[in-house]
């Protein structure tokens, strides 16, 4: 009887241990110093003027773009399309992503008046944005002039390079746009990094 009881206890402990390990599995959505060592099934993708869709293996494939002349002697894969030109009074789609997943990092260097560029985020097929804010305000640069910021969620580096590390999850889709309602065109260098993975139920 003692052996049976011990065996049953080990079986229960083992099942509980497996369940506990499964509960602790890493989804790959929120990456920080506390989980850098962990593996997940998340698939990381990156959208930029070199790869507007974030499709795997399509970075550096552009043959037309704002850098075509500068890269004329280098050819494809040499920053032929490092940026986009957004005309006055128009809206450009920075990212259109099918989920589930989460945006993990946004980098951009917008020119022009930052108060005249409106950043919008739409989640899961929304017709009205959940986030609508001047681009400078979003990156904690309200005055419209460069000031270095060094923090975990937002970093503004020399050259007016804006970085955002807020984790922004979505279940069905994510769409990010930038409207230029200035009277002059603007040039935008940008990159949106995201992970395709299941998001927590309470996100």
User: How many CA atoms lie within 13 Å of 114's alpha carbon, on the beta-carbon side?
Assistant: 19
**């399309």: which residue's tokens?**
81
Pairing of strands 186-196, 161-164: unpaired
Residue 34 within any structural domain of the chain: no
Give the burial class of 11: count Cβ atoms within 10 A of its Cβ; 0-12 exposed, 13-18 middle, 19 or more buried: exposed
Which pLDDT belongs to residue 24?
64
Residue 64 within any structural domain of the chain: yes
Here the CATH number for the domain that contains residue 124 is: 2.60.120.1390
Residue 37 within any structural domain of the chain: no
* Pairs from 9-14 (Cβ < 8 Å, separation ≥ 24): none
Q: Which pTM value belongs to this model?
A: 0.83
Residue 158 within any structural domain of the chain: yes
Cβ atoms < 10 Å from Cβ of 89: 11
148 touches 158 (CB < 8 A): yes
Residue 20 within any structural domain of the chain: no
Residue 30 within any structural domain of the chain: no
29 touches 169 (CB < 8 A): yes
Per residue in 16-34, pLDDT (tens digit) is: 444 444 456 788 888 888 8
Q: Which residues pair with 176 in a beta bridge?
A: 95, 121
Which pLDDT belongs to residue 10?
40
End-to-end C-alpha distance for the chain, whole angstroms? 48
185 touches 116 (CB < 8 A): no
How many folded domains does the chain comprise? Answer: 1
Reading the chain (203 residues) residue by residue, the pLDDT tens digits are: 545 554 444 444 444 444 444 456 788 888 888 888 899 999 999 999 999 999 988 777 777 777 776 776 676 666 778 899 999 999 999 999 998 999 999 999 998 899 999 999 999 999 999 999 999 999 999 877 888 999 999 999 987 799 999 999 999 999 999 999 999 999 999 999 999 999 988 88
Residue 150 within any structural domain of the chain: yes
Cβ atoms < 10 Å from Cβ of 13: 10
Which pLDDT belongs to residue 49?
93
Residue 100 within any structural domain of the chain: yes
């Amino acid at each position: 009887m003692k052996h049976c009881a011990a065996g049953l206890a080990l079986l229960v402990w083992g099942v509980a241990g497996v369940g506990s390990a499964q509960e602790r599995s890493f989804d790959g959505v929120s990456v920080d110093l506390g989980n850098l060592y962990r593996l997940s099934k998340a698939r990381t993708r990156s959208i930029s003027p070199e790869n507007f869709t974030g499709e795997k293996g399509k970075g550096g494939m552009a043959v037309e773009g704002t850098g075509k002349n500068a890269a004329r002697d280098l050819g494809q894969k040499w920053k032929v399309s490092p940026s986009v030109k957004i005309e006055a009074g128009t809206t450009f789609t920075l990212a259109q992503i099918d989920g589930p997943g989460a945006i993990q990092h946004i980098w951009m260097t917008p020119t022009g008046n930052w108060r005249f560029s409106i950043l919008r985020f739409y989640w899961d097929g929304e017709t009205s944005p959940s986030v609508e804010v001047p681009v400078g305000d979003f990156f904690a640069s309200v005055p419209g002039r460069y000031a270095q910021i060094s923090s975990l969620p937002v970093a503004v580096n020399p050259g007016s390079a804006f970085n955002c590390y807020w984790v922004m999850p979505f279940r069905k889709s994510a769409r990010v746009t930038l409207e230029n309602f200035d009277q002059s065109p603007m040039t935008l260098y940008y990159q949106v990094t995201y992970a395709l993975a299941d998001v927590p139920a309470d996100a």
